[in-house]
Amino acid sequence: MAKLYTFGKSGVLPEERKELTEDKKIERFEAKDLIFLSINQHIGAPAKSLVKEGERVLKNQIVASGEGGVTSIVHSPVSGEVVQIKSMVFPGEIKNDVIVIKNDFKNEKVLGTEEKREFKKDKEKFINEIKNGGIIGMGGAGFPTYVKMTPPKDKKIDLFIVNAAECEPYLTNDYRVMLEFGDEFLSGISLILDNLDIPKAIVGIEENKEHAFEKLQKSNSDKRIEFKLLKTKYPQGAEKQLIYALTKRVVPIRKLPFEVGVIVQNVSTVKAIYDLITFNKPLTERVLTCSGKGINEPKNILAPIGVTVSQIAEFCGGIKDNCRYLINGGPMMGKPFSDINLPITKTTSGLLFLTDEEVNIEEENPCIRCGRCLSVCPMGLNPTYLKEASDRREYEKMDDVLDCIECGSCSFICPASRDLASSIVKGKQKYSKYLKRGK
């Protein structure tokens, strides 16, 4: 038994429920007649549509692009005609423009090769390709990858960490990618180390994915890559907690990982970088886990970005009558969907169709000050105090909300079923606005 790494005593142990899909091979889902591309799939300035209604687009063509330091680019996964640009409402009442493309099934493309291409080591070109390839963090946050790869000049990066914790229950997409695209994944890591001049990589994998850990370790030939087993605990894959678990380096409060010489990327992102650099394929598809007791055939799927929830649900045998919750992402941090006509995005790691049997959210009760939320908070915050302050807009008591990583451990553990995390997340928005207003 290898040594198990972890981030300390905080965190929680939700039921893993990965058995629904962990042994299911990734199935390719081909685009149907309509594709819905949100222009705002990432953190940062939203992209703007570069195409007009009626315009013909090719596969891999850029259809939306943003301006500014932190933004991203969206490519079409199919060739066809732009039939409409409309506004759709995403969770949290966020309205985004969506480019609707009618697939002509001709698959005419502008980028992408079948043959591997040679990529000569070139840091600037590498990062630029990643920017133009529309690659963003695919673990869920959607932070543009090129920004992560360009730390300030005075920060020396000596370690690349691959986040293969996949600590969210149900999700098995990263696990399947590591099992089925292991060589591509490992080559992706090597490419990143080569081009960014990083001497070493650590792949952190949770213990419940030991199979992938062993398989990768066996097939790996790059001596710079080390594999470490993490204790199965939530939120083991939270960036700062993961860095601490693997290296004991502590990212200072409100700072980014490069402060301690680290860049972290998720498994699927590494695979996307490999596809981009090797086959010149921009990010237009991803592997996601479609699971839960509310769907007939839970599966791991390789799907084009922009296909709808209803199309995927149909591919998985349809939604069961007792399905009551639809979640984009994992059950701990995912967003609730009410509309099955919404599309998946680059950050959709999972689509969960859950029943009342699986979701046990009770009515909120008064806080009994048991202190469980304090002891599980991986950031060492006082969630019950911050919830009160956030609900009452007591700005002078709210500063710590900015340190919340929104993992939801507090709400998970609360015996009074209080929605601590969601209140604090809302408090974050309120407090940020308050700070912008200049107090």
* Contacting residues toward another protein, per CB under 8 A: 12, 14-15, 169, 240-241, 244, 250-255, 310, 319, 323-327, 331-340, 352, 354, 358-362, 365-372, 374-375, 378-382, 384-385, 400, 403, 408, 411-417, 419, 421-422
- CB-nearer residue toward another protein: 100 or 332: 332
CA dist., res. 14 & res. 374, Å (int):
17
- Residue 392 beta carbon to another protein: minimum distance, rounded to whole angstroms: 15
- Residue 422 beta carbon to another protein: minimum distance, rounded to whole angstroms: 4
- Residue 14 beta carbon to another protein: minimum distance, rounded to whole angstroms: 5
The packing angle between helices 123-132 and 267-279, to 10°, is 110
Asked if 141 and 118 touch (Cβ cutoff 8 Å), the reply is: no
- CB-nearer residue toward another protein: 79 or 241: 241
- CB-nearer residue toward another protein: 189 or 313: 313
- CB-nearer residue toward another protein: 199 or 371: 371
Nearest to 276 by CA among 200, 191, 199, 193: 191
Taken as a whole, the chain contains a residue count of 439
- Residue 206 beta carbon to another protein: minimum distance, rounded to whole angstroms: 17
**Other beta carbons less than 10 A from residue 62's beta carbon:** 18
- Residue 140 beta carbon to another protein: minimum distance, rounded to whole angstroms: 11
Task: List the structure tokens of 332.
Answer: 């701990």
- Residue 377 beta carbon to another protein: minimum distance, rounded to whole angstroms: 8
Nearest to 245 by CA among 173, 170, 189, 161: 161
Q: Locate all alpha helices (DSSP H) within 111-255, ordered by sequence.
A: 123-132, 145-148, 173-180, 182-196, 210-219, 239-247
- Residue 152 beta carbon to another protein: minimum distance, rounded to whole angstroms: 18
Whole-number Cα distances in Å, 249 to 255, 262, 377 = 13, 9, 18
- CB-nearer residue toward another protein: 22 or 194: 22
- CB-nearer residue toward another protein: 110 or 379: 379
The CA-based angle 195-197-199, given to 5 degrees, is: 125
CA dist., res. 264 & res. 245, Å (int):
13
- CB-nearer residue toward another protein: 45 or 379: 379
Contacts of residue 369, defined as CB under 8 A and 6 or more positions apart, other chains included, come to 384
